[in-house]
Homo-oligomer: A and B are copies of this chain.
Amino acid sequence: MSDGDNLLKLVEAEEADDQDYLLQEQVGFILRKAHQRHVSIFAAHIGDLTPPQFAALAKLRDVGETSQNQLGTLIAMDAATVKGVIDRLKARGLVELSKHEVDKRRLLVNLTAEGRDAIERLIPLAREITRETLAPLSAKEIATFMKLLAKLA
C-alpha cells in the first residue's frame, strides 16, 4: 500500500467514521482479553480452584460467616452464580452452610478449618498471580492503571 493510500484513509477517517470501526481497539474487546490472560495466569498458579471460588474463600476470610446473598454482593456475583460456587466449595469441604437462627430465609456460609488452611496457603500464590498479571507494566504504570481501572469497575 502506498503512502497515498494511507493519506486517503486518514482523510476518510475524519469524515465517515463508520469506515474505521476496529474491534481490536475497543475497550470491551481488550478488557475481555486482559481478563482472559489473568484467568490463564491464575490457572497456571492455582490449578484446583477458579478465581470466583478463590474470591469466595478470600472474602469469607475477611468477613467471617455471612449469608450466601451478602457474600455474593461482596464478590460481585448474582444469586444464581454464587449458589453454584458455594455448592462446589461445600462439596469439597472448604465451606460449611447453616441456617440463620432468626431469619429463616438466610443461608449462612463459613469457612471450614480446611477452607481456612487452604485460603491461607493460597494467598501467597495469589500475590504472585497479581504480580505476574501486572508484570508488563512498570511500578508507576501499575499505580496509574489501577486507579483508572477502579474508576471503570
Residue numbers of A with Cβ under 8 A of B are: 17-18, 21-23, 25-39, 42, 51, 55, 58-59, 62, 75-76, 120, 123-124, 126-127, 129-130, 133-134, 136-137, 141, 144-146, 148-153
Q: Contact between B126 and A26 (Cβ–Cβ < 8 Å)?
A: yes
10 CB < 8 A contacts A-B: A17-B127, A18-B120, A18-B124, A26-B126, A27-B149, A28-B39, A29-B76, A32-B76, A145-B145, A145-B152
Min Cβ gap A125→B in Å is 11
Q: Contact between A23 and B153 (Cβ–Cβ < 8 Å)?
A: no
- A interface majority secondary structure: helix
* CB closest chain-B residue, reference A127: B21
Q: Contact between B28 and A129 (Cβ–Cβ < 8 Å)?
A: yes
Q: How many copies does the complex hold?
A: 2
A149–B35 CA distance with the chains assembled, in angstroms = 10
Q: Which of B51, B141, B145 sits near A28, CB closer than 8 Å?
A: B51
Q: Contact between B146 and A30 (Cβ–Cβ < 8 Å)?
A: yes
Nearest 5 CB-CB pairings of A with B: A33-B153, A34-B153, A145-B148, A136-B151, A23-B58
Min Cβ gap A79→B in Å is 15
Which residues from B are CB-within-8-Å of A26? 126, 130
Q: Which of B27, B36, B133 sits near A27, CB closer than 8 Å?
A: B133
* CB closest chain-B residue, reference A38: B28
Which residues from B are CB-within-8-Å of A59? 23
A124–B17 CA distance with the chains assembled, in angstroms = 9
